[in-house]
Amino acid sequence: MDRNLALELVRVTESAALVSSGFMGKGDKNGADGAAVEAMRKAFESVKINGEVVIGEGELDEAPMLYVGEKVGMATDDCMEVDIAVDPLDGTTLIAKGLPNAIAVIAMGSKGSLLNAPDTYMKKIIVGPKAKGCIDLNKSAEENIINVAKALGKKPSQMTITVQDRERHDYIVDAARKLGARIKMFGDGDVATGIATCFEDTGIDMLMGIGGGPEGVITAAAIKCMGGDMQAQIYPLSDQERERCHEMGFSDEDIQKVLTIEDLAKGDDLFFAATGITEGDLLKGVRLNGNNQATTQSVVMRAKTGTIRFVDAIHNLNKNELLVELMAKYEA
């Protein structure tokens, strides 16, 4: 894929972030998500790809979707066919409450590269490059912490494990505390938290737990770009979710299979882009300045080269027709 597409993807995530940022702290998570979806959908119209959404918003958020199977991009004869995975607003509850780490995010790969995961839960372990090859979802949480610590040259008591603050993760918390490891809880925002494992200055050594399946695929694309490692398993928590898996073509054997990062995001023809909406551990949030300007911070990655770029941008909100239209609509 054309490496210049990386910046085009950043423009798409920036649009979603800027338009949805007006909802920060207003308690309307569906309104924020709807704004992000519309902005992302319209911004895609100027991107020179023939894209198909293989990971969309899912049906659990009860919000407008970039639905699975939707076509995005200019789609002219000379456009490359690509898979698109989107989460226009990862962290709807975060933005509604004005909490950190809400982001707009896209992963893109060549046709067939991204797993079309069902919109159910997924069990995950994520680590950075130094611990690549040292995780095993079939082993206990305690064994995985010990093995990752060894790879990182640390004692288990020096490890920091990030876990979503849910009762279903009590077994991970108990295992970590038994070893003397530190636990860092997070409420929402699977993607941003998973990516943090690959940046040493975040202080996060690994993520474990059960979170969103679609978010897992998006995260896998980023982890692949950064040389980290991830294992996952489709993990329905109810009969309804299991039936949803079956509807999407996943057998009970598929559900039980441990998925490697290559199963989730194949090959090296992958891009990942994200823009901060609220202030976060990795990215700054949208900031409105005087003279109708706004600043954003984004990250964009390419698996083929392993390049990671941070993009700081100043936006003149009077000169971008798309932003003028949508920000006026959602302020009304």
Q: Which residues are annotated as a binding site?
A: 33, 57, 87, 90-92, 121, 166-168, 188-190, 212, 215
Is-contact 126 229, C-beta < 8 A? yes
Residues of each annotated binding site for Mn(2+): 33, 57, 87, 90, 215
**DSSP labels, 265-290:** B-SS-EEEEEEESS--SSS---EEET
In whole angstroms, what is the distance from residue 89 CA to residue 34 CA? 9
Find tokens 């995005």 and name the residue: 72
Distances, alpha carbon 177 to alpha carbons 46, 158, 170, 203, 220, in Å = 50, 11, 10, 17, 27
Query: Which helix (H) or strand (E) covers residue 329, if one does?
Result: helix 321-331
**Which residues are CB-contacts of 251 (< 8 A; sequence separation ≥ 6)?**
none
**Angle 5-20/29-44 helices, nearest 10 degrees?**
150
In whole angstroms, what is the distance from residue 96 CA to residue 21 CA? 10
Give me the half-sphere count of Cα atoms (radius 13 Å) on the Cβ side of residue 269.
Answer: 13
Query: At CA 170, angle to CA 169 and CA 171, rounded to 5?
Result: 90
Q: Are strands 270-276 and 287-289 parallel, antiparallel or unpaired?
A: unpaired
Residues of each annotated binding site for substrate: 90-92, 121, 166-168, 188-190, 212
Is-contact 280 204, C-beta < 8 A? no
In whole angstroms, what is the distance from residue 188 CA to residue 89 CA? 11
- Please say whether the dihedral angle defined by the alpha carbons of residues 148, 107, 12 and 9, taken in this order, is positive or negative: positive
